[in-house]
Chain A
């Protein structure tokens, strides 16, 4: 999350309140009361037209936190009933995102628009620049005919006053695969057959209208059961709090987890396995290989660019390996991946070793709800120390570098390229690489759906820059990854 906007803070407050509600003896009532507790009678109405709309939106946010889809809501089911359903369900839902429909503004559609700054100049370069005849002059000003405009932005580029702008719908603009668009009711709708669960829309919508369906209640239930619950803390965690990873892990123990593993430990296995895979592929004459750890990228290949499939490394993700280690060490345990990523929630649903996924925001809310002050926690000692390279998986460039180090005894021709953030343009380019219609600029392609790497994930607590700095500083304290044969006993998926 780039900045802590009001929508982010509202969402956090809803999560904290529901956790507190769960831990009280009147969960259903506390859930029912949530919109009214947050916006009591005569309260100030900071954001929307009236208190009723604010409450209606808070109700829908709560539905998402309780793990249900707002799309299936009928407006009248009490939140308490949703709370009860969250207590009763055996497994989380199979989709990970939902549109908070009442919060969705139904933004004006994407278009090119001539503003009042138009001076009605004599040269009128906009009219001649347009290849589709969409710009004409009315009352001495340029006007764009929406039915002819193709959105090429030529007129914008030639206007000497910069008077022509592109109006964007933030969620549609953010989505790399066109999976979110307005429906006939005028609000955003996600096409799950295309959605990568990358979380770009979650991060970008200024109304906070796309929400993750939380599994926090399922996790709280697990913590209350007699099963062992193991937290798998993603590398990006090191940058999320004013304190370091050791104290965050201790905080989780205080919150009721039985053990914490660093996912960077699994990243070390991924790096070694991937280095070996890379060597084999180069030896058999492949032109390139892409990394496989980004869950949104894996969804992309599966759903929209099957041509890339043969080039994706077969290596399993750090989350998968770490979960496997956890299940081996604590048979029968419940594994909870704690990370920054919406797509990992999706991956978690598909991976038998992962029981639940919690994002950093939910982790933070858990600390708040339980009044856990991390600076007062001692340093947790991880059983297996992770390497410098494994810790750096969360920052763009880190994965490719770890493969280089892990495979330094193998292939000498190592030409890394980072795809730093997925968007329509780069997806087109990569498709051409796979179809052998364009030269690939390197032979090992690291793909990160989020620009900057996992530290930019939609579920982060801290801003990306600060988080990346802390992750790198923590990585520097780690030992170098040793290029030895990969841990062959762990299975790939």
Chain B
């Protein structure tokens, strides 16, 4: 468990995601429960390319590990994480 790689969380800060609500994810870092903090690494990234593939209506996008979630909110990111860490 100890040597496990951190789960990478990439919050899209591309233009489409930002306009369609990415600033709602601003507080994400602080809302990760303490027991998970060491296990994740959060950063912002310009356009993940999903706005073209999946459509702007699904923005904002967040990549968690290899998976991308659309219409992302702090809650939906935390839910995904709880699935990973259960």
Q: List A contacts of B44 (CB < 8 A).
A: 242
The closest CB in chain B to the CB of A243 belongs to: B15
Q: How far is the CA of A375 from the CA of B18 in the complex (A)?
A: 12
Q: Hey, what's the 0/1 contact readout for A361-385 against B, CB within 8 Å counting as 1?
A: 1001101110111111000000000
Q: How far is the CA of A342 from the CA of B22 in the complex (A)?
A: 24
Q: How far is the CA of A7 from the CA of B47 in the complex (A)?
A: 24
The closest CB in chain A to the CB of B57 belongs to: A13
> Does chain A have a CB within 8 A of B26?
yes
Q: List A contacts of B15 (CB < 8 A).
A: 241-242, 251, 364, 367-368, 372-375
The closest CB in chain B to the CB of A361 belongs to: B19
Which among B13, B26, B47, B56 has the greatest number of chain A C-beta atoms within 10 A? B56
Is A4 in contact with B24, judged by CB distance below 8 angstroms? yes
Which among A12, A374, A463 has the greatest number of chain B C-beta atoms within 10 A? A374
A-B interface pairs (CB < 8 A), number: 61
Q: List B contacts of A241 (CB < 8 A).
A: 15, 18
Q: List B contacts of A267 (CB < 8 A).
A: none
> Does chain B have a CB within 8 A of A9?
yes
Nearest Cβ distance between residue B12 and chain A, in whole angstroms? 10
Q: How far is the CA of A72 from the CA of B47 in the complex (A)?
A: 41
Q: List B contacts of A361 (CB < 8 A).
A: 19
Q: List B contacts of A252 (CB < 8 A).
A: none
Which among B18, B26, B46 has the greatest number of chain A C-beta atoms within 10 A? B18
Nearest Cβ distance between residue A236 and chain B, in whole angstroms? 15
> Does chain B have a CB within 8 A of A265?
no
Is A12 in contact with B19, judged by CB distance below 8 angstroms? yes
Q: How far is the CA of A369 from the CA of B16 in the complex (A)?
A: 9
Q: Hey, what's the 0/1 contact readout for A203-244 against B, CB within 8 Å counting as 1?
A: 000000000000000000000000000000000000001100
Q: List A contacts of B21 (CB < 8 A).
A: 4, 9
Nearest Cβ distance between residue A463 and chain B, in whole angstroms? 6
Is B57 in contact with A461, judged by CB distance below 8 angstroms? no
Q: How far is the CA of A461 from the CA of B13 in the complex (A)?
A: 13
Q: Hey, what's the 0/1 contact readout for B3-17 against A, CB within 8 Å counting as 1?
A: 000000000011110
Which B43-76 residues have C-beta < 8 A from chain A?
Answer: 44, 46-47, 51-52, 56-57, 59
Known: A373-B46, A375-B14, A375-B47. A364 touches B19 (CB 8 A): yes
Q: List B contacts of A374 (CB < 8 A).
A: 15
Neighbour of B19 across the interface among A3, A368, A376, A466, CB < 8 A: A368
Known: A13-B57, A371-B52, A375-B14. A463 touches B23 (CB 8 A): yes
Which among B15, B16, B20, B57 has the greatest number of chain A C-beta atoms within 10 A? B15
Q: List A contacts of B57 (CB < 8 A).
A: 13
Q: How far is the CA of A160 from the CA of B37 in the complex (A)?
A: 42
Is A365 in contact with B14, judged by CB distance below 8 angstroms? no
Residue tally, chain A, CB below 8 Å to B: 25
Neighbour of A9 across the interface among B14, B16, B20, CB < 8 A: B20
Is A466 in contact with B26, judged by CB distance below 8 angstroms? yes
Q: List A contacts of B56 (CB < 8 A).
A: 13, 16, 368-369
Nearest Cβ distance between residue B19 and chain A, in whole angstroms? 4
> Does chain B have a CB within 8 A of A324?
no
Is A373 in contact with B47, judged by CB distance below 8 angstroms? yes
> Does chain B have a CB within 8 A of A462?
yes
Known: A4-B24, A13-B57. A242 touches B16 (CB 8 A): no
Q: List A contacts of B51 (CB < 8 A).
A: 368, 371
Q: How far is the CA of A466 from the CA of B13 in the complex (A)?
A: 14
Q: How far is the CA of A16 from the CA of B57 in the complex (A)?
A: 9
Nearest Cβ distance between residue A182 and chain B, in whole angstroms? 31
Is A367 in contact with B47, judged by CB distance below 8 angstroms? no
Which among B18, B19, B24, B46 has the greatest number of chain A C-beta atoms within 10 A? B19
Q: How far is the CA of A29 from the CA of B14 in the complex (A)?
A: 30
Q: How far is the CA of A376 from the CA of B57 in the complex (A)?
A: 21
Q: How far is the CA of A4 from the CA of B60 in the complex (A)?
A: 12
Q: How far is the CA of A454 from the CA of B42 in the complex (A)?
A: 31
Closest 3 CB pairs of A and B: A364-B19, A375-B46, A242-B13
Further contacts, 20 of them, CB under 8 A, given A13-B57, A241-B15, A461-B19: A3-B24, A4-B24, A242-B18, A251-B15, A364-B19, A367-B16, A367-B19, A368-B16, A369-B56, A371-B16, A373-B15, A373-B16, A373-B46, A373-B47, A375-B15, A461-B18, A462-B23, A463-B23, A463-B26, A466-B23
B residues adjacent to A (C-beta < 8 A): 13-16, 18-21, 23-24, 26, 44, 46-47, 51-52, 56-57, 59
Q: Please name 14 pairs of A and B residues whose Cβ atoms are closer than 8 Å in the assembled complex, sorted by A.
A: A3-B24, A9-B20, A12-B19, A241-B18, A242-B18, A242-B44, A251-B15, A364-B15, A365-B19, A368-B56, A373-B46, A373-B47, A375-B13, A466-B23
A residues adjacent to B (C-beta < 8 A): 3-4, 9, 12-13, 16, 241-242, 251, 361, 364-365, 367-369, 371-376, 461-463, 466
